[in-house]
Structure 1
Amino acid sequence: MRSFNIKLLMIFVLLFSLKISAQNSYVNQYKPFATELSQEFGIPTSVILSIAFMETGGGTSSACKVLNNHFGMTGKNDINNSRFKSFTDSKASYRAFCEWVSKKKFYQNLKGSQNHNEWFVAIASSGYSTKPAEWKQKLNLVMKKIGL
């Protein structure tokens, strides 16, 4: 019985370390492009990445894998019957999100600001989230979790 418990613990530790590795991999993969977009649009890299990470479950969602949709954006797609928009690649999804943000009323007031809380509140309140307060809390947890 003790041997079984040790094996079970080892499997748990392995799975936990694989999950952490996958999280770091997602952030490392997209951080350079998110930084480019941050410089171009004035939206903090941490805001772009934390929203993408949360919306995709760290790159594991089907919308991310099948549709290259990292932000849960809705629209037409020719791949499946979901309500989520498809993109040619991940960069197109990231760019579409930043372009969407840049067209919102709050954008000019926040452009260049590094206050992620203000960005989260503004984005959530603009219709991006159906539950703005919960969404903002989750994003703050994600930021801490992935070290942004």
Structure 2
Amino acid sequence: MDFLYCAKSNGLTKINNMQKTSIGKYVMILLMFVFTVTTTIAQKFSPSSYIAEHKDLAQQLMNETGVPASVILAVAFHESAYGNSRVAKHLNNHFGIKGKNKSKAIRSAYKGYGSAEESYRDFVGLMQRRKANRVLFDKYDADDYEGWVRGIFKAGYTSLSSWTPKVLATIRRYNLDKYDQIQRPVEKGMLAKSGATKIQQDILLRSMEANDMSVDFTPGVTHVVTKGETLSDLATRYDTSVEALKRRNNLQSSKLSMGQRLLL
């Protein structure tokens, strides 16, 4: 009897332990599922949060390349469903550019990137690399977002006729063109070379960064372009070269706009 009782007791204990283990596994799986869903929902962008997250990068790239920030943002917004598409989430691809990827999460013909910034930089790089796109830098100013969008479409970025009106509508709906108004940050090293005292440099820097200057405060630091001026004129006046001016100001062409501020 004792033997049977012990055997029965041991059997019940094993069953209870197995049940506890199974329940523990199910609870763990459920918690992982809830965590995954919660994380996914938390990472979901709204139109405004996507713009807020990427506007600074778009403006930085505009200053570096000349592609309008509004265009960069609108194309990314449209192509990635403001950061919520599967390609944007799994491949960091915000511009619908095709290429190789190493993702095990999804099978896709779209290019994979290590970060959203890499994707953004590849887009403006594409504008600079492709011959059909390079002409846009000479043809359109940085504040002509409509010209840029139509030009990108004509250069073969997509064959969908609805692409242009949708991208333009995005710019207008969210007032993305306001991000095209940023001016290039002032280089403190240039102010130091001007001979101004530290206090003068700080005052000048704050004034220039406020973007409300209409004249040059310190000769030899910056120049505001007036009507009809060319890079050649400025190179002669300030004893430098056209290429040096283009390099210092990250200019892709020699075309200048009235009111444009150049570092000398």
Q: Same fold (TM over 0.5)?
A: yes
Shift of 1:114: 1.3
For 2:83, what is the secondary structure of its paired residue? coil
Once residues 60 and 100 of structure 2 are traced to their aligned partners in structure 1, the CA distance between those partners, rounded to angstroms, is 27
Once residues 87 and 77 of structure 1 are traced to their aligned partners in structure 2, the CA distance between those partners, rounded to angstroms, is 8
The answer on 1:102 being equivalent to 2:128 is yes
Aligned residues: 127
Once residues 86 and 145 of structure 2 are traced to their aligned partners in structure 1, the CA distance between those partners, rounded to angstroms, is 27
Alignment match, 1:122:
151
Name the CA shift for 1:141/1:111 in 2 (closer, same or farther; >3 Å): closer
Alignment match, 1:81:
107
Structure 2, unmatched stretches of 5+, are 1-44, 177-264
For 1:127, what is the secondary structure of its paired residue? coil
Name the CA shift for 1:73/1:63 in 2 (closer, same or farther; >3 Å): same
Query: Percent of aligned positions with the same letter in both sequences?
Result: 31
Runs of 4+ in 1 over 3 A off after TM superposition: none
Equivalent pair of 2:67/2:137 in contact (CA under 8 Å):
no
Shift of 1:72: 0.3
Once residues 86 and 140 of structure 2 are traced to their aligned partners in structure 1, the CA distance between those partners, rounded to angstroms, is 31
Structure 1 letter corresponding to 2:116? S
Q: Which has the higher contact order (CA 8 A, sep 6+)?
A: 1
Shift of 1:112: 4.2
Once residues 66 and 143 of structure 2 are traced to their aligned partners in structure 1, the CA distance between those partners, rounded to angstroms, is 9
Query: What's the TM-score once normalised by structure 2's chain length?
Result: 0.46
Alignment match, 2:216:
none
Alignment match, 2:118:
92
For 2:134, what is the secondary structure of its paired residue? coil
Q: CA RMSD in A?
A: 1.5
Greater per-residue helix proportion: 1
For 1:105, what is the secondary structure of its paired residue? helix
Alignment match, 1:146:
174
Structure 1, unmatched stretches of 5+, are 1-20
Question: 1:92-138 deviations in whole A, cap 9, x for unaligned?
Answer: 0000000001122323314643111111111111111112x421100
Equivalent pair of 1:41/1:111 in contact (CA under 8 Å):
no
